[in-house]
Amino acid sequence: MMISNIEDSEPVLNLRELFYEKEVNITPIDKEVVDISQKTKYDNFKLLTDIQNVLQKCKHLTPKDKLLYCQSQRYFMKQYLREINKPK
């Protein structure tokens, strides 16, 4: 357990920051959000192209398998379009 000395000026200096506004730089956070958004777009597009390649090249797929791939492709297409059409 820490015991603080009331006469010590250090606690007062630490509390001072609580009562005065400090300017916060949020540009790095904004940049990270944009980077994540770009990565999400890219990942969704990559999945779309991968699924399309499977549908085109794999001849051994049953109609049920193709339907499942098409459903997942539709889902990722919606995600991709949401990211593209997001207001900036």
- The per-residue pLDDT for range 6-21, each reduced to its tens digit, is 555 555 555 555 566 6
Q: With cut-offs at 50, 70 and 90, classify the pLDDT of residue 1.
A: very low
- ∠ at Cα 25 (24, 27), nearest 5°? 145
Is residue 43 within 8 Å of 76, Cβ to Cβ? no
pLDDT at 86: 81
pTM: 0.56
- The per-residue pLDDT for range 36-68, each reduced to its tens digit, is 777 888 888 898 999 999 999 998 999 999 999
